[in-house]
Amino acid sequence: MKEDMILLREIERYLEGEMSEQEKTAFETLRHTNPLVNKQVEEHQLFLQHLGNYGKRQQLQTKLNQIHQQLDMPSLRKQAQEENQTARRLTIRRRTITNLAAAACIALVTSLSTIAVIQNVSKNKSTAQYEDVRRVLNNIQRSQNAIISDMNSKSRAPLNPGTYGGTGFAVSGNGYIVTNYHVVAGADSVYVQNNKGEAFKAISIFEDISSDLAVLKIADSSFKSQPLPYALKPQSVKLGEEVFTMGFPRDEIVYGKGYISAKTGFNGDTTAYQVSIPVNPGNSGAPLLDSKGDVVGIVTGKQTTSDGIAFAVKSAHLKHLLDEMPKDKQTRKDWNHKSRLEGMNRVDQIKKLEDFVYMVKVYN
Amino acid sequence: MKQNQDITRDRELLLGLAKGEDKSLEIIYSENFPVVLRMILQHNGSEDDAKDVFQEAIIVLYEKVQTSDFTLSSRLKTFLYSVCRHLWLKKVHRTYGLYALTPELEEVIPAAEELEEHEARDQEFRIMEGAMSSIGQPCQTILEDYYLHKKSMQEIAEKFGYTNAENAKNQKYKCLMRLKKLFFDQYKTPL
């Protein structure tokens, strides 16, 4: 303890420069030889520095407090409070206005859009999502010369591709063809054309708007009747059953394959199936056949909001329609044979079928 | 242009502060305190909070100008405001747990770096303060008189009624040793 104090005193004297020259050299040698002493000196220097900092800071703090006391606190307080209040009032007002404006905007938009949506829905409920797949044929430029050449060959349909196109298929060997009502609706004249390119004039003899079906009769002397290779299957098909179709979305017959995806049609329509099958404008009226080659439905339309969803009128309705047809136009007897396509592979089935699927061209 | 002028004036003030001129300190204090007071009051602080925070910011500034490499890059007002804001955020954080201030629109410069350095110094100061307060009043006064107020041992001896300067000196060394011990006990093992 005593020695420590003496050492401390020596260090202080050394640092403060109170030592004589002789003492100083002696002390410095001691520092060099004794690391403990040296450490003490350095520590003391550091300590004095800290102490100095402490002093300065304390001094500063005292000064600050003095200055603070000189401040006119009451008036500052008042000023700050006033400013804050103004700021708060402003923010509150601003916030209220913003909120009100936002609420009003939302209300306005909501009501307007509700009105718009309701009107739209009630007006275009079916057209919004449901699309007839008849084909709009508007390449009129081809028709110019065609009409003239048509005058010379009577057995041929006008080369004019027509305004609308759809598909139809034979329901009897003697020229009765079923297609969709929406294909032939409002038609001035109807032509049907088979895959070989033979065209026949047809007339619509029976139409049923509710099931969207129409029966055409080929009224052309060049038409030769031939027995149907397929039958109508009036029973309901099972969910998931594989079906296929053949139609004329273009000038060539197109084969498509799919399956029954629901037993009701668009918006729960019980007269139709929902079919997962690729369908394009022009497929309207195409036959929907099961794997045995029996007709189970007629393609009518598709859902525009999602791809690959088509609808087909159930064959039961076609049977119903044919039953209802005036007696003199009966076709029923042709249906009462068994399908000749059963057991064939698809390629052969198609080959047999394609003669009985027609492109329906509508002129109006 | 006006901003440049302001910065020039601010720099002069800082030079004064570095030299320890009371006038500069007073100007800086009285000009910037109201803004900080307003901010702290706005954020649910008290006047005392404002005083503490602001004075700490001044200390930060003071420490900064003591080191020669400090140059003021923004306006003094902005600097102090930002430092105060950081300090207040920290304080609120410490006392109330998580609590977010409303986002400010005022110009704020990042002051985290400045504060880090300050915190280390503040730590040292607290240790010294604690050591000082625990060596007892007479010792504290002797040491402060000698080391901080640079009084001679003769004066101190007279003030405390020692018979001679030598006795006072012995007493001073005793006190100094205690203080040193207390200080280094904590300084070497900072929290």
Q: What is the pTM of this model?
A: 0.45
Active site residues of A: 182, 212, 284
pLDDT at A141: 44
- Residue B118 within any structural domain of the chain: no
Q: Averaged over A143-152, what is the pLDDT?
A: 45
Q: Please state, in angstroms and rounded to a whole number, the distance separating the CA atoms of residues B3 and B22.
A: 25
Give chain A's largest Cα–Cα span. Answer: 148
Residue B105 sits in the same domain as residue B139: no
Among residues B56, B79, B111, the one where a domain terminates is B111
Residue B81 sits in the same domain as residue B23: yes
Residue A281 has pLDDT above 60, yes or no: yes
Q: Nearest residue of A to residue B40 by CA position?
A: A80
- Residue B154 within any structural domain of the chain: yes
Task: pLDDT band for B109, please (50, 70, 90 cuts).
Answer: low
pLDDT at B160: 78
Q: Please state, in angstroms and rounded to a whole number, the distance separating the CA atoms of residues A308 and A279.
A: 7
Closest CA to A256 of A244, A266, A248, A268: A244
Closest CA to B13 of B77, B98, B101, B102: B77
Residue B122 has pLDDT above 50, yes or no: yes
Instruction: For residue range A212-269, list pLDDT tens digits in order.
Output: 888 888 888 888 877 778 888 878 888 889 999 998 888 888 898 999 998 888 777 8
Residue B33 sits in the same domain as residue B77: yes
- Residue B123 within any structural domain of the chain: no
Top residue of B22, B42, B175 to mutate, by most chain A CBs within 10 Å, is: B42
pLDDT at B179: 85
Contacts of A226 (CB under 8 A, 6+ apart): A173, A355
Instruction: For residue range B50-105, list pLDDT tens digits in order.
Output: 888 888 888 888 888 877 677 777 788 888 888 888 888 777 777 665 544 444 43
| 3-class secondary-structure state, position A101 | helix
Residue B18 sits in the same domain as residue B79: yes
Residue A136 has pLDDT above 50, yes or no: yes
- Residue B17 within any structural domain of the chain: yes
Residue B127 has pLDDT above 50, yes or no: yes
End-to-end CA distance of chain B: 48
Residue B67 sits in the same domain as residue B157: no
**Percent of chain A topping pLDDT 70:** 85
Domain count, chain B: 2
Kindly provide the ipTM of the predicted complex, given to two decimals: 0.74
Average pLDDT, chain A: 79
HEC readout, B104-145: CCCCCCCCHHHHHHHHHHHHHHHHHHHHHHHCCHHHHHHHHH
Residue B140 sits in the same domain as residue B91: no
Contact A282, A133 (CB under 8 A): yes
Residue B148 sits in the same domain as residue B80: no
Residue B17 sits in the same domain as residue B97: yes
Please judge whether B37 and A83 are an interchain contact, meaning their C-beta atoms are less than 8 angstroms apart: no
Q: Give the residues across from A357 on adjacent strands.
A: A169
Q: Please state, in angstroms and rounded to a whole number, the distance separating the CA atoms of residues B142 and B147.
A: 8
pLDDT at A157: 46
Q: Please state, in angstroms and rounded to a whole number, the distance separating the CA atoms of residues A90 and A79.
A: 16
Please judge whether A67 and B30 are an interchain contact, meaning their C-beta atoms are less than 8 angstroms apart: yes
Instruction: For residue range A86-129, list pLDDT tens digits in order.
Output: 777 777 778 888 889 999 999 999 999 999 888 877 766 555 56
Domain of residue B88, CATH code: 1.10.1740
Contacts of A198 (CB under 8 A, 6+ apart): A222
Residue B35 sits in the same domain as residue B85: yes
Residue B81 sits in the same domain as residue B141: no
| 3-class secondary-structure state, position A306 | coil
Instruction: For residue range A335-350, list pLDDT tens digits in order.
Output: 555 667 777 888 888 8
Q: Averaged over A11-29, what is the pLDDT?
A: 81
For residue B81, give Cα distances in angstroms to A190, A294, B56, B61, B111. 87, 87, 12, 11, 10
Contact B90, B118 (CB under 8 A): no
Find the chain B residues whose C-beta atoms sit closer than 8 A to any C-beta of A: 22, 25-26, 29-30, 33-34, 37-38, 41-42, 47, 51, 55, 58-59, 62, 121, 124-125, 128-129, 132, 143-144, 147-148, 169-170, 173-174, 176-177, 180, 183-184, 187
Show the domain range for B174. 135-188
End-to-end CA distance of chain A: 125
Residue B150 sits in the same domain as residue B96: no
